[in-house]
Structure 1
Amino acid sequence: MRTSAPTSTVASGALTRRLAMLVPSGRSTVIGVPFLWLTLFFAVPFVLVLKISFTDSRLGIPPYTDLVSAKDGVLHMVMQLSHYAFLLQDDLYIATYISSLKMAAISTFCCLLIGYPVAYYIARSAPATRNLLMMGVMLPFWTSFLIRVYAWIGILKDDGLLNHTLMAFGMIHSPLRLYHTDIGVYIGMVYSYLPFMVMPLYAHLVKMDLTLLEAAYDLGCKPWTAFTRITLPLSKNGIIAGSLLVFIPAVGEYVIPELLGGADTLMIGRVMWNEFFNDMDWPMASAVTVAMVLLLLVPMAVFQYYQVKELEGTK
C-alpha cells in the first residue's frame, strides 16, 4: 500500500513526458502552424485544380470527367493534355498572359515610385507621428475591397467627381475618358496595392542605421549620392518584397479590371472567371489557373535564389 503512491506518481510522470514529446512545441509549433495553413488552403486546393486540368469537360455535376476510374476491378487513368496544348497555341490566351504581366509590372512600378517616398517619410517621422501615418496607410483595409473599387467608379466616370472638379477649375473642357479603360485599371490597382508596397519598405527603412548617412555627409557626400549608395541598397530587400506582394496578386486580379476596365481589357483573372462560371469549362479554367501559378513561381524562385546567395555571402 505504501508503494502505490510513488508508483502512480512515476507512471503519471512518464505519461506526461510522453505526451510532451508527442505535442509539438517551441520552434516546431512556430514553423508547423504556417505550413499546416499553407497545406490546407493552398496545396490541397491546388492539387484539386491540377487534377481537374487533366480531365475533360462534360454536362453534369461535377462538370468534368473522372481522372481515375475503376472498371472490371482495374484502375484506369486518362489524362487530357489538350488544354495545355491549346493554351500554347491560342493567340488570345498568350496575349492575355502578356497583357496581365504587363499591367501587373506597370502597376508594381507605379506603386514603387509612390510608395518609396511615402515609406521614407514615415520612417523619418517622429515615433508618435509615425504610428498615425502607418494607421492611415492601413486604414483602407477597414473597408471592404469591393466597396473601395466601387467608389472609384463614382470618381472616374465621365460625370464623376474627378472630371467635375477639373472642369470646375477650367483645367479641362471635356470629360477625361478614364472609366472602362486601362488607365482606370491602373489607377485602381495602384490604389488597392499601394499599402502592400509601403509596409515592407517602411519595415526596412525604419531599422536603417542613420549614422551611416551622417558619416557619408561628414565625408562630403551629397544627399542624392548618399541615397543611391547607402539608403537604396539597404532597402533593396524591402523593394523586392513589396514588389512581389504587389505583382503576384495583380497578375490574377479580377475585380478591378471587371469593374473599372473595358471590354478590351485583357486580364487572366477575367478569362478564368469566364471559363469557370460562364462557359462552365472547368478543365480549361483549371489549366489556365495552373499555368498562371507556374508563371508566378518564376519571380518567387528568383527571389528565393537571391536570398540564399545573400545569406551565403554574409557567412
Structure 2
Amino acid sequence: MLSLNLRRRLLPWIFLGPGLLWLLIFFLYPLLNQASVSLMSGDPEHGYTLTWAFHTYWDAISDYKAQFGRSILYAGIATILCLVISFPLAYFTAYKAGRFKGLILLLIILPFFMSYVLRTVSWQLILADDGWVVARLRDLGILGSDGRLLATSTAVIAGITYNFLPFMALPLYVSLEKIDRGYIEAATDLYASRATAFRKVTVPLALPGVFAGSLLTFIPACGDFINAALLGTPRQFMIGNVIQSKFLNILDYPTAAALSFTLMVFILIGIFLYARALGTRNLTEAAI
C-alpha cells in the first residue's frame, strides 16, 4: 500500500497525466517532427532526407518577407479595428444592457455556430461589385464608377476583423464586468467628471481585457489564410497562404515547416516582449 504522503504527491500528477499525455502526442511530437522536416533537403519526386539545412530558414524569410510583413500589417490593423468596435460594445453590455445582457452575449458568440469558411464566403456577397455596399459607396463618391472592394486589402482586413471580433469582445466584457463600481463612484465623489472617471479608472482597470483580446486576435490573425484566399488576390496573400500552398500544393515540406517555425518564433518573441512590458501578473490576469 502506498503511504498517505506518497499518494498526496502522486495525486496532482494523476490529474495532470491525461492532459500531459495529450500534449506530448498531439503537440510536442508533431512539433519535433516538423522541426526535423524543416532541416531536410530533397524534392517530392525523390523524397526528403535530413541534411541539417539551416539555410532553409534564411531562404524562406528572404523569399517571403513581403508576406510576413503583410501578415503583421493586416493582423495589426484588424486588431486595432476589433478593439475600437469591441470596447463600446463590451462597455454597453457590461454596464447598460440590463436584462438584454445575455442576448447581446449570445449574438456575439452566435457566429461561432456557423462554419468559418461559410462566414467568410458571405463577405463575398456583401462586398460584391454589384452589391448594395459598393453601390452606396459609389453614390457617396467614396468609390469611383469602376471602384471595388472585393479582391482588395480592404476586403481581407474587413474579413479578418469580422471573424476575430468575438475574441476581442469577450475578454473585454469579462474585464469590464469584474470592475468594482465603487471605484467609479469614488472618482465621481471626488469631483471627477464621467469622462475623467472613464479615462482614469475604467480604462486602466480594463487593460487586462485589452491585452488578452489583443493576443487572442492578433496571434491567429497572423496565420490566417482563409480571408486572403477568398476575399483577396495573390497580391494580398499572407504568410498563411504561402504555408498552405507549400504544404498542400507544391509539396515543399521543408520550406513550409521553416516558414511555420519562423512565424511561431516571431509570435513568441512578441508575446515575451508583451509580457515583459506588462509584467507577469498582469499577463496572467489577462489570460484569466
Q: TM-score, with normalisation over the residues of structure 1? A: 0.80
Match among 43, 65, 70 for residue 94 of structure 1: 65
Residue 71 of structure 1 aligns with which residue?
none
Secondary structure (helix, strand or coil) at the match of 1:128 reads helix
How many Å apart are 1:147 and its aligned residue? 0.5
**Residues 1:105 and 2:91 aligned together:** no
Partner of 2:29: 44
**Aligned-residue offset at 1:28:** 4.8
Q: Any unmatched runs of 5+ in structure 2? A: none
Alpha carbons of structure 1 residues 29 and 221: separation in structure 2 relative to 1, 3 Å = farther
- Whether 2:245 is the aligned partner of 1:270: answer no
Does the 8 Å contact 1:111/1:190 carry over to 2?
yes
Contact 2:219 2:267 in 1 (8 A): yes
> Quick one: structure 1 residues 126 and 85, their matched pair in 2 at CA, closer, same or farther if it must change by over 3 Å?
closer
Question: Do structure 1's residue 203 and structure 2's residue 174 form an aligned pair?
Answer: yes
- Cα RMSD, aligned residues only: 2.6
Q: Over residues 59-101 of structure 1, what are the superposed CA-to-partner deviations in whole Å (9 max), with x where a residue is unaligned?
A: 348x422x3xxxxxxxxxx31112112134x3x4112111111
Q: What is the rounded CA distance, in whole Å, between the counterparts of 1:152 and 1:115 in structure 2?
A: 20
The 5 A counterparts of 1:225-236 are 225-236=196-207
One of 54, 59, 80 as aligned partner of 1:81: 54
Contact 1:163 1:175 in 2 (8 A): no
Write the distance in 2 (CA, Å) between the matches of 1:37 and 1:117: 39
Distance 1:225 1:35 in 2: 48
Alpha-carbon distance, 1:48 to partner: 1.3
How far has the Cα of 1:174 moved from its partner?
A: 3.2
Q: Which runs of 5+ in 1 are unaligned?
A: 1-13, 68-77
> Could you tell me how far 1:225 is from its partner in structure 2?
1.5
In the comparison of the two structures, how many residue pairs are matched? 280
Correspondence list, 1:138-217, <5 A: 138-164=109-135, 170-171=139-140, 174=145, 176-217=147-188
Q: Tell me how far apart the structure 2 counterparts of residues 134 and 105 of structure 1 sit (CA, whole Å).
A: 25
Between structures 1 and 2, the one with greater helix share: 2
Q: Secondary structure at the match of 2:224?
A: coil
Partner of 1:261: 232
Partner of 2:280: 308
Task: State how far apart, in whole Å, the 2-side matches of 1:36 and 1:227 are.
Answer: 46
Q: Which amino acid is the alignment partner of residue 280 of structure 2?
A: V
- Tell me the residue number matched to 1:59: 44
Question: What is the DSSP-based 3-state SS (H/G/I as helix, E as strand, rest coil) of the residue aligned with 1:64?
Answer: strand
Query: Residues 230 and 166 from structure 1, CA distance in 2 versus in 1: closer, same or farther, beyond 3 angstroms?
Result: same
Alpha-carbon distance in 1 for matches of 2:145, 2:13: 63
Task: Return the letter of the residue paired with 1:51.
Answer: S
Equivalent residue number for residue 189 of structure 2: 218
Structure 2 CA distance for partners of 1:263 and 1:310, relative to 1, 3 Å? closer
Amino acid at match of 1:116: F
Partner amino acid, structure 1, of 2:48: Y
Whether 1:287 and 2:258 are equivalent positions in the alignment is yes
Distance in 1, matches of 2:132 and 2:217, equals 27
Residues 22-42 of structure 1: per-residue CA shift (max 9 Å, x gap): 9964x5566555544444333
Structure 2 CA distance for aligned equivalents of residues 213 and 32 of structure 1: 45
Quickly say closer, same or farther: Cα 1:46–1:237, change in 2 above 3 A: same
| 1:116-135 matches, cutoff 5 A | 116-135=87-106
CA 1:151–1:221: 2 relative to 1, 3 Å: same
Once the two structures are superposed, residues 194-229 of structure 1 have per-residue CA deviations (whole angstroms, 9 ceiling, x without a partner) of 000001011110010111111111211122211121
Letter in 2 for 1:44: Y
Distance in structure 2 (CA, Å) of the matches to 1:116 and 1:37: 36
Q: 1:33 to 1:123 in 2, by over 3 A?
A: farther
Normalization by structure 2: what TM-score? Answer: 0.88
CA separation in 2, counterparts of 1:162 and 1:126?
29
